[in-house]
Amino acid sequence: MAPKKKVRKGKSSKKKGKKSEKDVVEKQADLFIQSENLHRMFIDRIGTWLLSNFGRVVDIFRKFDRNGDGVLTYEEFFAGMKDLEAPCNQIELFVLAKTVDKNLDGNIEYNEFSQGIRYRRPVKVEQDDGLPVLKISREKFDKCPDCCIKKWNFRAKKSLFYSLDLLLHSMKGITNFTGHLRSLLVESNLTIQGLINKVQEQYDQAFKDIIIFSLNGDCKEIYEIGQTIDDSIGFEGGSEEDPTSITLFYELGIKDLIECPILQSDHYFDRK
């Protein structure tokens, strides 16, 4: 019967020990990174050291760069830093390696150390809650060919309409007075100045000082010329086929009344 081969337990247990030691170092490095103040202070300190010793750092790393492409593995980076007698322990070396490994692919581009090392806040990976990922999309605009500024496409609100009776307040008791403007179809975004223009057209631009207002019992509310009808009256407009009916009043200013010889004459109206 052939003798059994001896199993080399010592070698396998040694490898297992090395693996567990690496896991411990990596776990300690992760805890180190989670402490933002400690991590930031270390990166500032070691970054200053690398910049002040950049020439010697590059010379040492080139000896470990087998391909000559300016890229080192973690093991090559650790060996180079030990030859440089860098002021950091094993855990800090692992933290530094993970910090300068921008692509997180196990490769370190040492030529970029000339630009300094910046602290990067670690990305927090949130657990999947099973809900769909919310994607925020931004509207894309065309750019102006001359100044490259993004063009803004104006989107007008849906137009609302009013059927407006605009009456001269001092003659409101006279139904057939020619100065009354009745059943005007106007859009809700028409300004008070636009209504004043319509009154001036009625009088062939004879009057300039005109005010527009509404009556709520004995309360008179005078509107600013920059207001729109929609903002002023507080009633929502309707469609063009079925507009909302409203009544507003206008009055001529004192200056216009004094200077108008027709209004200063005696007139007699038959009220119906």
pLDDT category, 209, cuts 50, 70, 90?
confident
**Cα–Cα distance for residue pair 135/133, rounded to 1 Å:** 6
Above pLDDT 90, what percent of the chain? 1
Whether this prediction's pTM lies above 0.85 is answered by no
In a domain, residue 183? The reply is: yes
Residue type at 272?
A: K
Whether residues 194 and 251 fall in one domain: yes
Residue 146 pLDDT: 67
The rounded radius of gyration (Å) of the Cα atoms in the chain is 42
The one-character DSSP state at 191 is B
- pLDDT tens string 108-128: 888 877 777 776 666 555 666
Whether residues 115 and 30 fall in one domain: yes
Whether residues 110 and 183 fall in one domain: no
The whole-number average pLDDT for the span 222-242 is: 80
Whether residues 33 and 83 fall in one domain: yes
Whether residues 199 and 109 fall in one domain: no
Q: Report how many domains make up the chain.
A: 2
User: How far is the CA of 108 from the CAs of 16, 98, 212, in angstroms?
Assistant: 27, 9, 75
- pLDDT tens string 46-62: 888 888 888 888 888 88
Which DSSP string corresponds to 119-143? --PPPPPPPP-SSPPP-------PB
Taking Cα atoms as reference points, which of 160, 159, 161, 140 lies closest to residue 151? 140
In a domain, residue 126? The reply is: no
Q: Is the per-residue pLDDT at 96 higher than 50? A: yes
164 forms bridges with which residues in the sheet?
A: 184, 246
Q: Which segment of 72-76, 116-120, 198-202 scores lowest on mean pLDDT?
A: 116-120
In a domain, residue 132? The reply is: no
Mean pLDDT of the chain: 77
Q: Is the per-residue pLDDT at 11 higher than 60? A: no
In a domain, residue 85? The reply is: yes
Q: How many CB atoms lie within 10 A of CB 246?
A: 18
Residue 262 pLDDT: 62
Q: How many CB atoms lie within 10 A of CB 195?
A: 23
The whole-number average pLDDT for the span 182-207 is: 84
Whether residues 94 and 165 fall in one domain: no
Domain's final residue, options 62, 96, 119 = 119
In a domain, residue 156? The reply is: no
Whether residues 108 and 170 fall in one domain: no
pLDDT category, 148, cuts 50, 70, 90?
low
In a domain, residue 148? The reply is: no
Residue 128 pLDDT: 64
Domain of 222, in residue numbers: 161-259
- Which of the residue ranges 131-145, 146-160, 193-207 has the most confident prediction, judged by mean pLDDT? 193-207
Q: What's the distance, CA 135 to chain centroid?
A: 14
In a domain, residue 223? The reply is: yes
Residue 6 pLDDT: 46
Domain holding 33: CATH number? 1.10.238.10
Whether residues 172 and 248 fall in one domain: yes
In a domain, residue 146? The reply is: no
Whether residues 255 and 172 fall in one domain: yes
Domain's final residue, options 91, 119, 147 = 119
Whether residues 239 and 177 fall in one domain: yes
Whether residues 110 and 168 fall in one domain: no
Above pLDDT 70, what percent of the chain? 75
45 φ/ψ angles, rounded to the nearest 5 degrees: -70, -50
Domain's final residue, options 119, 144, 175 = 119
Residue 12 pLDDT: 45
Whether residues 169 and 254 fall in one domain: yes
